[in-house]
Structure 1
Amino acid sequence: MMSGLIHHIEFNVSNLSHSIHFWGWFLEKLGYEPFQEWTEGKSYRLGDTYIVFVQTREKYLNHPYHRCGTGLNHLAFHADSRQEVDEITNELIKRRVKILYMDKHPFAGGDDYYAVYFEDPDRMKIELVAPPLK
């Protein structure tokens, strides 16, 4: 059944090459593959879902995004395990990506919610969540 599943998500980004550098490794680590590429954009696909990044047109670049303002707050992805969350966290640290709520990491969402929260180059919050322990 496909009804209700996400078809695709599209982001306008302030710097396409920075966003592709940031998102590409992460999405590929989660199993996404490069899908489409053109001068102003690139997409990655996993199954029937794809994520698109498009260079923001110049006239809109002076309208910065912030997750606490109007618009999309964050994206949350499933991880296969706590180990995957830890591996991604270590890679984020090596890449000098801002990790949010580090003082409570990896339980910033609660004692039974194992996740890493971080920001992309445009300050979009991203979450990678491990499955609950059984």
Structure 2
Amino acid sequence: MIRVGFSHIDYNVADLERALRFYEPVMAFLGFAKESRQSDWVLFGNGRMKLCLVRCEKRFAGAGFHRKNPGLNHIAFQAERASDVDEVAKFLKERKIPLLYNSPAHFDTERETYAVFFEDPFRLKLEVVYSPDYL
């Protein structure tokens, strides 16, 4: 058996510039650097994983996204400390990005977790979670 981790996530967006206005400050705050920019995509990385925002083809842009449909529900970023989750929540509130589910809060009764949830401009749910037992 081999052991792998996530290399990268490609996330198709209908409006790349709108996505970048949201993701550039959020990703920088989470410790990601912009590694590459092309006309149709932007790659952020932090040395452990990468997120690539990709402009989808115009013929698919009108389909929209909803996390309740089959497919991706959300992306969770692992925090090193519970206090990091609080810092992210403060950062989001300062930018008037609504927090979901009365977060930050503890969401798992079986293991230690502390998370903040929010959405991007296209309604993809994002999570920053401290969960030491989840590694």
TM-score of the superposition, structure 2-length normalised?
A: 0.85
Contact 1:115 1:128 in 2 (8 A): yes
Alignment coverage as a number of residue pairs: 130
Equivalences for residues 1-134 of structure 1 within 5 A: 3-102=3-102, 105-107=103-105, 109-110=107-108, 112-132=112-132
Question: Which amino acid in 2 is paired with 1:107?
Answer: A
Shift of 1:108: 5.2
Contact 1:73 1:124 in 2 (8 A): yes
Distance, in Å, in 2 between the alignment partners of 1:4 and 1:26 is: 26
Shift of 1:93: 1.3
Give 5+ residue unaligned stretches, structure 1. none
Distance, in Å, in 2 between the alignment partners of 1:51 and 1:8 is: 6
SS at structure 1 position matched to 2:44:
strand
CA RMSD in angstroms, aligned pairs only: 2.0
Distance, in Å, in 2 between the alignment partners of 1:114 and 1:50 is: 23
Give 5+ residue unaligned stretches, structure 2. none
Question: Which amino acid in 1 is paired with 2:92?
Answer: L
State the identity %: 30
Distance, in Å, in 1 between the alignment partners of 2:105 and 2:49 is: 28
The range that moved more, 21-30 or 116-125, is 21-30
Distance, in Å, in 1 between the alignment partners of 2:33 and 2:123 is: 23
